Structure 1
Amino acid sequence: MSVQTEISLTPTQVRPAQKWQQLALGLLCMASISSPQYVWTLLTKPLLERLDVTLPVLQVTFSLLIVFQTFLSPLQGKLIDRYGAQRLIGLGTLLTGFSWIGAAVSHSLWMLYLMYGVVGGIGTGIVYIGIIGQVVRWFPHQRGFAAGMVAAGYGMGAIVTTLPISTSLAHHGLTATLATFGVGFTVVGGLASRGLREAPVVKATADVNLPRQRNYSSSQMLKQPLFWLLFFMMACMSTSGLMVTSQLASFATDIGVGQALIFGMAALPLAMSLDRLTNGLTRPLFGWVSDRIGRENTMFVAFILEACAMTLWLTFRQDPLLFILLSGVVFLGWGEIFSLFPATLTDTFGQQHATSNYGWLYLSQGVGSILGGPLAALLYQASHGWVPVFSLAIGLDVLTALLAITVLKPWRKRFIAHS
């Protein structure tokens, strides 16, 4: 039996209908904040025309969004644990919608930075950290699946809005589109957040052989070397995945398959569509698997899968069909980090401070966001080829997979037994 399924619950502690309702509301909240990140590319052209700036200067807006989403996560998690999920997540959805409304009337670059980048990043970060913290409490025996489902809501939520936003930009312009959808995000996310409730306290039954698990506060957790192993592993996987996925368009162009027609569609947009699907699917899928075979075993399988897919992707890069299919497998082996790591963290350090604790671990995603794209670009510029880029990414995948099965698994088992 895996470590995370060894503690049972009393029958009255979890009401099935209510926990599934909380999962659905979490999905809605996540979907309401996904567009600022995933639909940004549709906004760049009209924003360039409005502000009359260069693309690199405009892209600082997106960097600010990611930085404020990830690097404030410890503070955001602490506030949520102190003041309650409903209140703070509601505020986060309000800030996210308001960031688009503010961007709609922004006619200077600095105002856009403030509204879309800073306010939007703070809002999306609060909701993301808060919802993950909520569902791992509500689903103590299915933490991997639950965290994966809401993470998929964030990864795939923009699928619903991409076409309507694109159509609105073409017919109604930038200002009306940002204002309309900003109000929509506020309404959907705000209403969903009103239904959020605190999860019941999980207690061990009398016949459980293991002692009750200790709940570590963030300050206590940060003193544990085991946490920093988890942080290092997630940072490695985040960097590895973003090294390759951030360079997808450049990679396709350089190898000459980007515009090749497959099933009547250009290979690059077809690959990107498949990638978005598998990146969402992998989160609940591998989360569900980890609930059954163990977190570390699942990490090993998923991370090795990505390493193998990247190897084959590089080897058969001249084949447009394989380029599309293998890019989907790469994303299938990468996106699950957003379900496996939060579930593992809560299994290890307890659920009482799950939100604030995950806020600290989520900083590793910020590290990967900063390192991944620039590191790949520098390696490519220095070597004039993709082999060094893929080799480093594959090496990070293999290293993290081996750490999961040989170091993390026995260490975490001993740690929980002594807690």
Structure 2
Amino acid sequence: MTATAASAPSQQISSGFRWTQLIIGLICMAMMANYQYGWTFFVPPMAKAHSWQVASIQVAFSLFIAFETWLTPVEGFIVDWLGPRGPKIMVAIGGILAACGWLINSRADSLEMIYVGAILSGTGAGAVYATCVGNAVRWFPDRRGLAVGLTAAGFGAGAALTVIPIQKMIVSIGYADTFFWFALGQGVIVFVLAWLLRPPQAGEVPTASAVKVLQSKTSSNPGQVLRSPLFWILYLMFIAVSASGLMVTAQLSIIAKDYGVAQTIILFGLPTLTLAGVIDSLCNGGARPFFGWVSDQIGREYTMAIAFGLGAIAYWLLGTAGTTPWAFVICAAIVFFTWGEIFSLFPSTTTDIFGPKFATTNTALMYSAKGMSAFVVPLANVLKTHTGSWHAVFVVASIMNILVVAAALFIVRPMRLSMSAAEKQSPVAQPAE
């Protein structure tokens, strides 16, 4: 009785503190959002100023995504290895690198320098992303989908607050100075907040006894994860869904221009592209905690089936009915709402399967799939040029989503049920930490 009473105040303090950790992570992620979702607004003025081909500029976007994702397993390993100091050190370094990337972009007079900036900013953004997601899944074993969703929402919706300022600054002071001032502002905020982050200690988080979804009772190290067939199935699913979404997020302004709706004024004096940028960021960010919460209630695979099934419909609609201003805004919003949830569903599923002890590294390994998907983005331009329209691109995206729905229901779900049954029959189980 005494031990229980003594532990109660600690549980209350930890409960409040873990939400503080989540909010700090969310803000840091929001400061990284423009590096991906604000990029599309810089492409046209860069192409015009330097007479560069859009496809050549978009190589920088692919490099950003690649370095944002492929280095995260290394960054996650360093975080786990450093222990309590890991999150603060890695996020601080990430903020500095991301800022340096855009500072280079602000002065770049060649595509090669733009590529260097993309590599630095991608490395920094990935360090922040992997660390904050890894911290969230460890602090919230009981609400893992929601916690990761809220954290990832910062990265998805953070750009909504700056879509209009970025566009206005590009018009008024030029894209180069816009790169410069946003780099400084975002970098300083992330660097300061980084020193407040830390992982939970033993006894600081609630048990997962009331969890409604399948969760492993053991933790797997990265080597064991990489030897798991289930990990690679999820990895391929992530690539498929991520690629379909990136084809739209990276090309949004170009698609709107090709449809002839980009500058059409439709609401409160805002052109179609600007309004779509705001709404899409909100939908992208909102999808992450929403579907994360849903997955906590009904299971990860069923949620994947619902979200990605709706995504298949959304891509088809954007390709067939999205050619008028309001239709473009609505269809694009649905696309973003049914794509953003991958960044809550896959990390939470990975931690459910492989445990929390090496969560930062393991979720980073899964997140690296986004880097593989980035190289599909230029292929979308090739397909569009070959066919003469975006319709074929969106048909391919729809098919990819349908295949992932089938994999979630008929491959992943049965495999997880089999693993859970085998774990219950095992006489010895190492508790997840």
Q: Fold-level match, TM-score > 0.5?
A: yes
Shift of 1:160: 2.9
Q: 1:286 matched to which residue of 2?
A: 291
**Structure 1 residues 384 and 50: alpha-carbon distance in aligned structure 2, compared to 1, 3 A threshold:** closer
Q: 2:17 matched to which residue of 1?
A: 18
CA distance in structure 1 between the aligned counterparts of 2:197 and 2:340, rounded to whole angstroms: 26
Task: Find out whether 1:130 has 2:131 as its counterpart.
Answer: yes
Q: 1:86 matched to which residue of 2?
A: 88
Shift of 1:330: 1.7
Q: Is the 8 A contact 2:240 2:401 kept in 1?
A: yes
Task: Find out whether 1:216 has 2:220 as its counterpart.
Answer: yes
**Structure 1 residues 212 and 355: alpha-carbon distance in aligned structure 2, compared to 1, 3 A threshold:** closer
Q: Helix, strand or coil for the counterpart of 2:375? A: helix
**Structure 1 residues 106 and 260: alpha-carbon distance in aligned structure 2, compared to 1, 3 A threshold:** closer
Q: 1:311 matched to which residue of 2?
A: 316
**Structure 1 residues 169 and 136: alpha-carbon distance in aligned structure 2, compared to 1, 3 A threshold:** same
Spell out the pairing of 1:304-383 with structure 2 (5 A cutoff): 304-371=309-376, 373-383=377-387
Shift of 1:176: 5.2
What amino acid sits opposite 2:238 in the alignment?
A: M
CA distance in structure 2 between the aligned counterparts of 1:169 and 1:57, rounded to whole angstroms: 21
Spell out the pairing of 1:102-121 with structure 2 (5 A cutoff): 102-106=104-108, 109-114=111-116, 116-121=117-122
**Structure 1 residues 255 and 171: alpha-carbon distance in aligned structure 2, compared to 1, 3 A threshold:** closer
Q: Is the 8 A contact 1:244 1:376 kept in 2?
A: no
Q: 1:75 matched to which residue of 2?
A: 74
Shift of 1:260: 5.0
CA distance in structure 2 between the aligned counterparts of 1:193 and 1:219, rounded to whole angstroms: 29
CA distance in structure 2 between the aligned counterparts of 1:111 and 1:211, rounded to whole angstroms: 45
Q: Is the 8 A contact 1:244 1:389 kept in 2?
A: no
List per-residue Cα deviations over 1:133-156 (Å, max 9, x = no partner). 010111111111111111111122
Q: Helix, strand or coil for the counterpart of 1:296? A: helix
Q: Is the 8 A contact 1:50 1:107 kept in 2?
A: no
CA distance in structure 2 between the aligned counterparts of 1:147 and 1:46, rounded to whole angstroms: 35
Q: 2:392 matched to which residue of 1?
A: 388
**Structure 1 residues 268 and 93: alpha-carbon distance in aligned structure 2, compared to 1, 3 A threshold:** closer
Task: Find out whether 1:143 has 2:144 as its counterpart.
Answer: yes
CA distance in structure 2 between the aligned counterparts of 1:327 and 1:174, rounded to whole angstroms: 25
Task: Name the stretch that deviates more: 304-313 or 397-406.
Answer: 304-313
Spell out the pairing of 1:169-180 with structure 2 (5 A cutoff): 169=170, 177-180=178-181
Q: Helix, strand or coil for the counterpart of 1:33? A: helix
What amino acid sits opposite 1:129 in the alignment?
A: A
List per-residue Cα deviations over 1:20-75 (Å, max 9, x = no partner). 10011101211222222233344446656776755544444333222211221221
Spell out the pairing of 1:150-229 with structure 2 (5 A cutoff): 150-169=151-170, 177-201=178-202, 213-229=217-233
Shift of 1:299: 0.8
CA distance in structure 1 between the aligned counterparts of 2:44 and 2:412, rounded to whole angstroms: 46
Q: Helix, strand or coil for the counterpart of 1:401? A: helix
CA distance in structure 2 between the aligned counterparts of 1:161 and 1:407, rounded to whole angstroms: 41
CA RMSD of aligned residues (A): 3.1
What amino acid sits opposite 1:70 in the alignment?
A: T
Shift of 1:250: 4.8
Q: Helix, strand or coil for the counterpart of 1:414? A: helix
CA distance in structure 2 between the aligned counterparts of 1:33 and 1:323, rounded to whole angstroms: 26
Query: Any stretches of 5+ residues in structure 1 without a counterpart?
Result: 1-9
Q: Helix, strand or coil for the counterpart of 1:262? A: strand
Task: Name the stretch that deviates more: 199-208 or 144-153.
Answer: 199-208
Q: How many residue pairs are counted as aligned between the two chains?
A: 407
CA distance in structure 2 between the aligned counterparts of 1:323 and 1:59, rounded to whole angstroms: 22
Query: Any stretches of 5+ residues in structure 2 without a counterpart?
Result: 1-6, 424-433
Q: Is the 8 A contact 2:72 2:126 kept in 1?
A: yes
CA distance in structure 2 between the aligned counterparts of 1:338 and 1:160, rounded to whole angstroms: 20
Shift of 1:103: 4.1
Shift of 1:217: 0.8
Q: 2:278 matched to which residue of 1?
A: 273
CA distance in structure 1 between the aligned counterparts of 2:227 and 2:278, rounded to whole angstroms: 42
Task: Name the stretch that deviates more: 263-272 or 325-334.
Answer: 263-272
Q: Is the 8 A contact 1:203 1:212 kept in 2?
A: no
**Structure 1 residues 254 and 282: alpha-carbon distance in aligned structure 2, compared to 1, 3 A threshold:** same
List per-residue Cα deviations over 1:273-297 (Å, max 9, x = no partner). 3222211111111111111111111
Q: 2:416 matched to which residue of 1?
A: 412
Q: Helix, strand or coil for the counterpart of 2:410? A: helix
CA distance in structure 1 between the aligned counterparts of 2:111 and 2:208, rounded to whole angstroms: 58
Q: Helix, strand or coil for the counterpart of 2:219? A: coil
**Structure 1 residues 48 and 382: alpha-carbon distance in aligned structure 2, compared to 1, 3 A threshold:** closer
Q: 2:304 matched to which residue of 1?
A: 299
Q: Is the 8 A contact 1:151 1:338 kept in 2?
A: yes
Shift of 1:237: 0.8
**Structure 1 residues 162 and 243: alpha-carbon distance in aligned structure 2, compared to 1, 3 A threshold:** closer
Q: Helix, strand or coil for the counterpart of 1:34? A: helix
**Structure 1 residues 295 and 101: alpha-carbon distance in aligned structure 2, compared to 1, 3 A threshold:** same
CA distance in structure 2 between the aligned counterparts of 1:241 and 1:211, rounded to whole angstroms: 28
Shift of 1:329: 1.3
Task: Work out the percentage of aligned pairs sharing the same amino acid.
Answer: 38
